[in-house]
Structure 1
Amino acid sequence: MPTPLGTPFTFFYALVLLATTVFAESADPALVGRLLSASSTDVVNLVHHPLLVLAASGLWIAGSPLSAYTVGFLLVLTALERRVGGLRTAAVFALGHVLATLLTEVPIGVAVALGRLPDSSLVRLDYGISFGVMAGLGALAGLLGPWPRWILLGAVGAMLLDDFLVFADPISAWGHPAALLVGIATWPFVRRARRARVDR
């Protein structure tokens, strides 16, 4: 589990998520709804204030506070941070969060512009930590031995395939594998960081 000295990025980010979760559960629902809408990385918000919503959308937990992605956040990011450090873990998380968001939302904007989707597709609630967690998981897999790596990626791949078959949320169905691939793409980066920490 994260600790303030051993894994400060994960620990303090978890405290922020705890605070926003408590706020979302106890504050006026209308206020919470407005804040979530303002934090959503839908096409309209990305066009008008992209930096704000890309940052704010990662401050909320979508769904249950005890969801698989919340547990994954604690376990995966703690394990990654212990191996590569807080700054690199934050970079992997942010890269997955931002790139997967853009890879899912930009095509929606293009499809609306081409008349393939209705204008209502431009505004939706899209926030949470799942893309960053998937990127962290992909990065962590590159630091494991061959058997644990492929078992982990196989289990995650089966979960993502199930998401595609259910297809309840197309954004998540496409965004999660994109974020996982972003994490896998960081293997050279995280492996160098791991070697540097071991050599010290």
Structure 2
Amino acid sequence: MIQHKRLREDRPTLVPARYLPGWDLAADLASRPGAATKARVALAAIARLRLAPLYVAAVLGVGLAIDHVAGPGARARVVAASSTNVANLDRHRVWTLLTSAFVLGGGVEPLAVVQLMLLTGAAELLLGRRRLTEVFLLTHVIASCLVYAVLRVGLRHGWVSPAVAGAEDVGTSYGAHAIAGALAWCLPVRARRVLVPLVLALVIMPFAGDRSFTTLGHLLSALIGLLAGWQMLHRPLAGRLRRPAARRGDRPAVYAFGAARQARDALIAVLHLREHRLIRLDDAVIAWSDRPGGAGARPYRIHERETRDLGVLDGALAGAAWGIVAGTLAGRPLTGLAAGAAVAAVVAGLHDAGLSDALVERAVRSVPPGQAVLVLLTDPADRPRITRVLARAGGAPLDPAN
């Protein structure tokens, strides 16, 4: 693998969140004069919300139906059947991992519904519908499985009361805490420095005072949400393993820049095009060399920032998440967690996904030390558009083979 080193100026993040959908709205609001014009822009953006209102309407509809139509007895049965507790999951009632996100345990509370709408609506505007769905539902499922695993261990060793096995465990709070964490991490640095500690404090303090499975689930959900926000900035293209481009016979596009910061800003522009589905982008890597090596060393010391390839820790976390879900389905959550983390960590460490290191190193060697390259794996039909956009950012196409 290419040798990595973090530069002080690039430590906060690889890719600022400006490629996310919400930054288009922020830029539009900043460019409009007058409060009335800004209000019209904001209202137009709110009118485009689809997923958040549908989800909140579904939760509200289910809550009103079981509160005012079905009656108290039926409501208790619905909540019991939808709870992601040990009793249900031990009986392989895995559908509760999804249905529990649509049932409110304490009944419909108008303030809670409004808060859920504001939170999910903000997430849809900033992160987009796909990321909102992934963060909310996946965190709800994974956090429920983690709590189930902890409770099973506690019940086996007598650390918790046997009554916990059949306790109510429904609601939207797991997904909501995850969305809060992801939003806090994806906001500008100044806001992040305040909101990330605030999100952590709001889940750590209740857990320290009342170590119940509910506060544990909230803590785990917030941590997963923060990790999701971190990945959106550091691994914006991560999600699936790919064979290196050189093995597929493809020739990636390479662009040279005067500095790593220019290349990073260019990458944001390319990610913005992808976000609006104007191009297809399978992989992207920023790389540069800052000084020659010493005697007997390589000609250049290579630094690399990847947007897709997962490291060992990334792989272990992803494998643990999917492993515990699979383990819950099989009735062995901790076994699934350990096996998933181990297998994914080994695969991530051995597999060079996306653009190969050899190709990136060859691209860096084709420019002088101190300059940077942006290597993209895209559809050849999209390259004229990408070249025009990157030319405005100071990028010049080059052929690393020459």
Q: Do they superpose with TM above 0.5?
A: yes
Q: 1:13 aligns with which of 40, 55, 59?
A: 55
**Is this contact kept in 1: 2:51–2:129, CA < 8 A?**
yes
Q: Percent identity?
A: 25
Asked whether the 8 Å contact 1:142–1:149 carries over to 2, the reply is yes
After superposition, the C-alpha distances for 1:127-154 in whole angstroms (9 at most, x for unaligned) are 0000000111111112201121232223
The structure richer in strand per residue is 2
Classify 1:32/1:113 alpha carbon distance in 2 versus 1 (closer, same or farther; 3 Å): same
Residue 61 in structure 1 maps to residue 104 in structure 2 = yes
Partner of 1:92: 135
- Please name the residue that 2:220 is paired with: 178
Q: How does 1:1-200 map to 2 (within 5 A)?
A: 6-26=48-68, 27-63=70-106, 65-66=108-109, 70-167=113-210, 170-191=212-233, 192=236, 195=272, 196-197=274-275
Larger CA Rg, structure 1 vs 2:
2
Indicate the SS of the match to 2:160: coil
Q: Deviation of residue 199 (structure 1)? A: 8.4
Higher relative contact order (CA 8 A, sep 6+): 1
Counterpart amino acid of 2:197?
G
Indicate conservation of the 8 Å contact 1:72/1:133, yes or no: no
The structure that is helix-richer by fraction is 1
Give 3-state SS (helix, strand or coil) of 2:151's partner.
helix
Please say if residues 141 and 184 of structure 1, whose CA atoms lie closer than 8 Å, have aligned partners that are also in contact.
yes
Contact 2:174 2:217 (C-alpha < 8 Å) held by counterparts: yes
Q: TM-score, normalised by structure 1?
A: 0.86
Over 3 Å counting, the alpha-carbon distance change for 1:154 and 1:71 in structure 2 is: farther
Distance in 2 (alpha carbons) for counterparts of 1:53 and 1:67: 24
Residue 68 of structure 1 and its aligned partner are, at CA, apart by 6.4
Query: Could you tell me how far apart the structure 2 residues matched to 1:50 and 1:141 are?
Result: 34
How many residue pairs get aligned? The number is 199
Structure 1 residue 81: Cα displacement: 1.1
Gaps of 5+ in 2: 1-42, 238-270, 279-402
Q: SS where residue 94 of structure 2 aligns?
A: helix
**Corresponding letter in the other structure for 1:44:** A
The whole-number CA distance in structure 2 between the counterparts of 1:92 and 1:156 is 16
Letter in 1 for 2:60: L
Q: Please give the alpha-carbon distance, in whole angstroms, between the structure 2 residues aligned to 1:166 and 1:116.
A: 17
Whole-Å separation in 1 of the counterparts to 2:108 and 2:151: 28
For the Cα contact (< 8 Å) 1:9–1:87, is it kept in 2? no
Q: Secondary structure at the match of 1:92?
A: helix
Distance (whole Å) between structure 2 residues aligned to residue 158 and residue 95 of structure 1:
23
Any conservation in 1 of the 2:203–2:222 contact (CA below 8 Å)?
A: no
Q: CA deviation at 1:78?
A: 1.1
Moved more, 33-42 or 90-99: 90-99
State TM-score, norm by structure 2: 0.45
Describe the shift of the 1:61–1:181 C-alpha distance in structure 2 as closer, same or farther (beyond 3 A): same
Instruction: Report which stretch shifted further, 157-166 or 12-21.
Output: 157-166
SS at match of 2:170: coil
Distance in structure 2 (CA, Å) of the matches to 1:86 and 1:147: 25
1:79 deviation in Å? 1.4
Note the residue ranges of structure 1 that are not aligned, 5 or more in a row. none
